[in-house]
């Protein structure tokens, strides 16, 4: 199994177009690296590829990835489908840019498939297959399992009458090698069954949106109180109930990497004390373009 981490930033990327915070300025100046919005590419054989989420940066991400270059035919592409972790615009707007793809398959929770804005529009261009994924699916030697993690729905679906889950995590397993990777970029809390879902995985790419519970209230967004940050559905890294404390207690050889990093997060500075603490715990920060072979 091959995995390419196409993007690692939360909504808006780093730098954000309308933000002059220290992290965004540093990225513009080249002092720290720029990041596109989170997205993953997974393949069981190195030939057929599947996206996990379709970010607004998808065109740049696809053209920058050698494994996803089209050919040999003029309209041939190695892209076979998309798995959506949720229906947020940051994870689905890229579907519009894939509208020329013939016969693409999209898997997601049923509630997301029934409300995602791209579905009706894309179907007027090309017939896609939209498949609810409540259990697992086998694609060649690539096994995909799903875990419901949250009922946090996107704002545009506030009035949609549909039962959750609205947010899921995926586990990708190579049935030939046994290699496994879990992708969970949006965790409102540490969900029930998540320890077992991650057990034995080689890598877990985990929600790293915020380092602190009140981060947005103390950085560029002083008008955003901590309850509003919590309502965004992202478990912070730090604190007694944060994800890093849970990682410290997890046994085994799993490599934990944070993704979906918000522009307010101090871990964007690789020399920060926050990064040192994460590394000391045996975890790390994923970067755009990282290639993993399992």
- The pLDDT of residue 161 is 82
Q: What is the pLDDT of residues 5-48, one digit of tens each?
A: 999 999 999 999 999 999 999 999 999 999 999 999 999 999 99
- The pLDDT of residue 251 is 77
Short-list 67, 25, 14, CA closest to 289: 67
Collapsing DSSP states into helix, strand and coil, what is residue 23?
helix
Q: What is the pLDDT of residues 147-204, one digit of tens each?
A: 999 999 999 988 888 888 999 999 999 999 999 999 999 999 999 999 999 999 999 9
How far apart CA 159 and CA 54 sit, in angstroms, is: 24
Give the position of tokens 């690296």. 33
Q: Say if residues 34 and 15 touch (Cβ distance below 8 Å).
A: yes
What would the mean pLDDT of 210-219 be, rounded to a whole number? 76
What would the mean pLDDT of 239-253 be, rounded to a whole number? 89
Residue 208 CB partners (closer than 8 Å, separation 6+): 237, 243, 258, 259, 260, 261, 265, 267, 285
Short-list 238, 9, 40, CA closest to 247: 238
Sheet containing 2-7: give its strands across. 129-132, 105-108, 79-83, 49-52, 39-43, 2-7, 291-293
How far apart CA 286 and CA 258 sit, in angstroms, is: 6
Q: How confident is the model at residue 87 (pLDDT cuts 50, 70, 90)?
A: very high
What would the mean pLDDT of 41-67 be, rounded to a whole number? 97
- The pLDDT of residue 227 is 54
How far apart CA 261 and CA 273 sit, in angstroms, is: 16
DSSP state, residue 189 = S
Q: Is the pLDDT of residue 84 over 70?
A: yes
Burial group, residue 280, by CB count within 10 angstroms (0-12, 13-18, 19+): exposed
Q: Which domains does the chain have, with CATH numbers?
A: 2-293 (3.60.15.10)
- The pLDDT of residue 135 is 85
Q: Say if residues 198 and 250 touch (Cβ distance below 8 Å).
A: yes
Q: What percent of the chain has pLDDT over 70?
A: 94
103: left (phi over 0), alpha (psi -120 to 50) or beta: left
Q: How confident is the model at residue 91 (pLDDT cuts 50, 70, 90)?
A: very high
pTM above 0.85, yes or no: yes
Cis-peptide, bond into residue 72, ω within 30° of zero: yes
Handedness of CA 42, 171, 133, 242 (dihedral sign): negative
Q: Is the pLDDT of residue 3 over 70?
A: yes
Q: Say if residues 110 and 162 touch (Cβ distance below 8 Å).
A: yes
User: Which phi and psi (to 5°) does residue 156 adopt?
Assistant: -70, -15
Q: What is the overall mean pLDDT for the chain?
A: 92
């Amino acid at each position: 199994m091959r995995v390419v981490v196409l993007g690692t930033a939360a909504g808006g990327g780093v730098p954000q177009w309308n933000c002059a915070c220290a992290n965004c300025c540093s990225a513009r100046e080249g002092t720290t690296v720029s990041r596109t919005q989170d997205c993953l590419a997974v393949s069981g054989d190195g030939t057929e590829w599947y996206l996990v989420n379709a970010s607004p940066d998808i065109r740049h991400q696809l053209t920058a990835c050698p494994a996803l270059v089209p050919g040999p035919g003029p309209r041939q592409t190695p892209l076979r489908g998309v798995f959506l972790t949720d229906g947020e615009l940051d994870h689905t707007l890229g579907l519009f840019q894939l509208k020329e793809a013939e016969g693409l398959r999209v898997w997601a929770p049923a509630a997301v498939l029934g409300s995602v804005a791209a579905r009706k529009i894309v179907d007027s261009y090309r017939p896609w297959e939209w498949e609810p994924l409540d259990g697992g699916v086998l694609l060649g030697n690539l096994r995909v399992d799903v875990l419901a993690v949250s009922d946090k729905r996107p704002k545009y679906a506030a009035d949609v009458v549909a039962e959750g889950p609205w947010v899921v995590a995926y586990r990708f397993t190579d049935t030939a090698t046994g290699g496994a990777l879990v992708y969970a970029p949006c965790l409102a809390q540490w969900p029930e069954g998540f320890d077992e879902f991650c057990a034995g995985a080689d890598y877990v790419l985990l929600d790293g949106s915020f380092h602190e519970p009140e981060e947005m209230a103390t950085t560029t967004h002083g008008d955003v109180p901590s309850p509003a940050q919590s309502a965004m559905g992202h478990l912070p890294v730090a604190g007694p109930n944060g994800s890093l404390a849970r990682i410290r207690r997890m046994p085994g050889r799993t490599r934990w990497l944070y993704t979906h990093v918000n522009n307010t997060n101090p871990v964007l500075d690789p020399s920060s004390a926050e990064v040192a603490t994460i590394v000391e715990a045996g975890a790390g920060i994923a970067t755009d373009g990282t290639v993993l072979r399992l």
